[in-house]
Amino acid sequence: MNTQQISEEHRFQLSAASRYSRRTFGALLTFGVASVCLPRIGLAQQATGVEAGRIVTDCRGRRVTLHGATRIASIGGTITETLYALGRSGNILAVDQTSTWPEQARKEKKDLGYMRAISSEGVLSLRPDLVLAMNDAGPPAAMDQLVASGVPLVFVDATPSPDAIEKRTRFLADIVGAHAEGDRLGQSIATQFKQLDAWRAEHPAKPRVLFVMRMTNNRPMAAGTGTAADAMIRLVGAVNAGGAMQGYKIVDQENLVALKPDIILLMDQTAAVIRADLLADPGFRLTPAGRNNAFVSMEGERLLGFGPRTPQAALDLAKMMAAAGHPV
């Protein structure tokens, strides 16, 4: 998954948030960009808890010396959601605009702006003792300035996969000294993924699902491989109807018919508008999804965020697809 593809998901979610609901919409896929950066989980064990002097190795292979973790600037909804789930919301000083869950995060924490348009000056003015940033945070110049400032900056892997979710959870738990909580949350996530596996085993059908991010000139922009949407579709056991494409592509009427989607997957924030536009397209009505009026939607951050809520979100999505008449 490359940076351009994921940042497109993030950029659109921010746009939708401003038009629909800033509190409930984030940059999707907070599991954004540069997900190829795999974290080396674990700390150089020089100390425990949030004691100063610890060294962590982030997902870019940088060794970062921590001076504390009680005034955290969290750049990425996945990071924020995980820290809250670990019971460490009190360690968070400020969050970015993709931090839409839990809802109180944006209300009770200072605002860092959009994660792809961070101001280094704005972050540093808050005097954080640690900056945690998803690997797709930007712009690069701002990240470079934060690194140069001397304030510890740890980049967190953004890979959208079950294994990466568990590793991110334990990595962040180590950083904030929530080892027991991290173990419990990690075990809970693993258990929920097993429940998803059990559902998939009992429902082996594999519908062709097409995720549509938005409409452009009355044509759908759909997800191909290398996107968080593709990862979620595969996670629930379905087939990405746009799997022959790379990244996000605008699909014309002829190609939309050829993709033969059984189900159209949408984000709640934009579902009504996209659904109406597609149903008005004679070509779409020739597809199985069009003939059967088969649409499924979920809140954007929950659908594409790949955080602690993902296993339950995936199971719920699979059940919604079954209810749409195409059991997964």
Total length of the chain: 328
Return d(Cα 282, Cα 306) in angstroms, integer. 35
Residue 159 has what pLDDT?
93
Of 176, 183, 164, nearest to 310 (Cα)? 164
* Mean pLDDT for the stretch of residues 109-115: 96
Residue 37 has what pLDDT?
63
Return d(Cα 220, Cα 265) in angstroms, integer. 12
Torsion of CA 83, 89, 91, 93, to 10 degrees: 110
Query: Which is more confident, 50 or 139?
Result: 139
Residue 326 has what pLDDT?
55
Task: Indicate the range of 28-37, 68-77, 140-149, 218-227 predicted with least confidence.
Answer: 28-37
pLDDT at 276 over 80: yes
Residues paired with residue 110 on neighbouring β-strands, in sequence order: 94
Residues paired with residue 57 on neighbouring β-strands, in sequence order: 63
pLDDT band at 301 (very low <50, low <70, confident <90, very high): confident
pLDDT at 142 over 90: yes
Is 218 within 8 Å of 277 (Cβ atoms)?
yes
Return d(Cα 98, Cα 301) in angstroms, integer. 8
Q: How far is CA 282 from the centre of its chain?
A: 33
Residues paired with residue 155 on neighbouring β-strands, in sequence order: 133
Which overall architecture, per CATH, does domain 204-323 show?
Answer: 3-Layer(aba) Sandwich (3.40)
Identity of the amino acid at 176: V
Residue 52 has what pLDDT?
64
Residue 50 has what pLDDT?
58
What's the mean per-residue pLDDT of the chain? 87
Residue 181 has what pLDDT?
97
Task: Indicate the range of 5-14, 19-28, 183-192, 196-205 predicted with least confidence.
Answer: 19-28
Choices 3.40.50.1980, 3.90.1570.10, 3.30.70.980, 3.30.930.10: CATH for 3-184: 3.40.50.1980
Residue 313 has what pLDDT?
97
* Mean pLDDT for the stretch of residues 171-196: 96
Task: Indicate the range of 39-48, 122-131, 260-269 predicted with least confidence.
Answer: 39-48
Q: For residue 221, what are its two tokens?
A: 């922009």
Is 77 within 8 Å of 30 (Cβ atoms)?
yes
* Mean pLDDT for the stretch of residues 61-85: 96
Domain ranges of the chain: 3-184, 204-323
pLDDT at 28 over 80: no
* Mean pLDDT for the stretch of residues 153-169: 96
Q: What is the reported pTM?
A: 0.83
Question: Which tens digits make up the pLDDT trace of 237-252?
Answer: 999 999 999 999 999 9
Give 86's contacts (C-beta < 8 A, 6+ positions apart).
Answer: 169, 172, 173, 176, 178, 181, 182, 185
Return d(Cα 290, Cα 282) in angstroms, integer. 9
Residues paired with residue 111 on neighbouring β-strands, in sequence order: 95
Paired sense of beta strands 72-75 and 130-134, if any: parallel
Domains 3-184 and 204-323 share a fold: yes
